[in-house]
């Protein structure tokens, strides 16, 4: 690689490192489709790009020189002043030796960044501080961002993702990398919280936020095109400034959990589109609301248990189908007359009419609260 190209690459890598995406953005800048991973001194993954195949041993040798592997993968040691700080691993199967100059440059830049963190000791991580809610306001957020040499966006959209229990799984760091790749946006930071990968997406104007929301809702399909076995479920929080990132994260995680409990497979729900569901989600843990749901569903469940029927399931699917008997019958694999008969049984057992708006509201609330309390 010529000196001019190395200088140009160095400028791009420095800009990527200073962005919200940080080390992940540096790896995405270098990735040629087979994946890269940054490991710390204990060989734990701290940044990643793509979905690299696990061809490199979990324990790398003590070496001061790059280590090449049979499939073309390459591991470069990161050291400053003789202190081992980690490894930069570029995965095969393509030949990596032609990229050694670029990788060495990135390794030097990342080693300096890791060393800076080591010297800083217990200095707070910007994103961890924001997600913990410990930033007192915009001024505190700006000051900490300046300390980390990160340019702060005016607004952030938080997307929480995890795996649906029906599909295969991988590490959350890999899921975050796949999602960043699918979104195709630079500067996204990824953190793990409560069993989910949080994508912290910078945005400066409303059209950008709207496009990101749409792209985030399509992530299950986008990721499935690359890995068909992965089933993704998620939530999107509101657009908020950096010092309110903890609120956006809580919203995103709540929307994710609502999607899971309501069995919305392959779905990413936007918190702001959920209406009263977040309120019901919070209320579902209260004894009064659980008692309300139990009182309305108890007679139906007792009948189902005694007669091996599916009245409760029929009612739930009937509501989910928008009270469309034909659609409900198709999902239940029964004749539509059977659905009508079961709905009449429910009315007789409960003393409620599914045609009465007030009665139907209470039954819908009972079904929803019960599902959210699962």
> pTM for the full model?
0.64
Superfamily of domain 282-372 in the CATH hierarchy:
PucR C-terminal helix-turn-helix domain (1.10.10.2840)
Q: How far apart are CA 362 and CA 95, in angstroms?
A: 64
Q: CATH for 126-274? A: 3.30.70.270
Q: CATH for 3-120? A: 3.30.450.40
- Domain range annotation of the chain: 3-120, 126-274, 282-372
Query: Would you give per-residue pLDDT tens digits along the chain (374 residues)?
Result: 677 777 788 888 888 887 767 888 888 888 877 788 888 877 777 888 876 666 666 667 777 778 777 777 888 888 876 677 888 888 876 555 456 778 888 888 888 887 766 554 444 578 888 888 888 888 888 888 877 777 788 899 999 999 887 677 788 888 888 888 888 776 788 898 888 999 999 887 777 788 889 999 999 999 888 888 888 999 999 999 999 999 999 999 999 999 988 888 889 999 999 988 988 888 887 888 888 888 999 999 999 999 999 999 999 999 888 889 999 999 999 999 999 999 999 999 999 888 888 999 999 999 888 888 86
């Amino acid at each position: 690689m010529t000196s001019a190209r190395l200088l140009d690459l160095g400028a791009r890598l420095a800009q990527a490192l200073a962005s919200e995406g940080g080390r992940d953005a540096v790896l995405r800048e270098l990735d040629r489709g087979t994946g890269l991973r940054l490991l710390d001194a204990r060989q734990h993954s701290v940044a990643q790009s793509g979905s690299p195949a696990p061809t490199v041993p979990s324990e790398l040798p003590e070496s001061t020189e790059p280590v090449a592997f049979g499939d073309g993968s390459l591991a470069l040691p990161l050291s400053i002043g003789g202190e081992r700080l980690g490894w930069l691993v570029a995965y095969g199967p393509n030949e990596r030796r032609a990229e050694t100059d670029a990788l060495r440059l990135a390794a030097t830049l990342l080693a300096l960044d890791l060393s800076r963190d080591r010297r800083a000791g217990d200095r707070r991580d910007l994103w961890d501080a924001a997600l913990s809610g410990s930033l007192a306001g915009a001024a505190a957020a700006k000051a900490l961002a300046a300390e980390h040499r990160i340019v702060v966006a005016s607004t952030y959209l938080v997307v929480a993702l995890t795996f649906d229990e029906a599909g295969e799984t991988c590490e959350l760091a890999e899921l975050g990398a796949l999602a960043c790749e699918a979104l195709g946006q630079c500067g996204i930071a990824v953190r793990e919280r409560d069993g989910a990968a949080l994508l912290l997406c910078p945005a400066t104007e409303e059209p950008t936020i709207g496009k990101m929301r749409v792209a985030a809702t399509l992530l299950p399909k986008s990721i499935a095109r690359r890995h068909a076995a992965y089933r993704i479920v998620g939530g999107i929080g509101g657009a908020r400034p950096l010092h309110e990132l903890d609120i956006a994260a809580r919203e995103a995680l709540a929307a994710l959990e609502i999607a899971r409990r309501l069995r919305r497979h392959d779905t990413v729900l936007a918190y702001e589109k959920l209406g009263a569901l977040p309120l019901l989600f919070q209320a579902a843990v209260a004894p009064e609301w659980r008692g309300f749901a139990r009182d309305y569903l108890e007679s139906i469940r007792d009948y189902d248990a005694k007669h091996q029927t599916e009245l409760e399931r029929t009612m739930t699917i009937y509501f989910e189908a928008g009270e469309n008997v034909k659609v409900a019958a198709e999902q239940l694999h029964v004749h539509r007359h059977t659905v009508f008969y079961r709905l009449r049984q429910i009315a007789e057992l409960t003393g409620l009419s599914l045609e009465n708006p007030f009665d139907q509201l209470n039954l819908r609330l009972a079904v929803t609260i019960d599902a959210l309390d699962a």
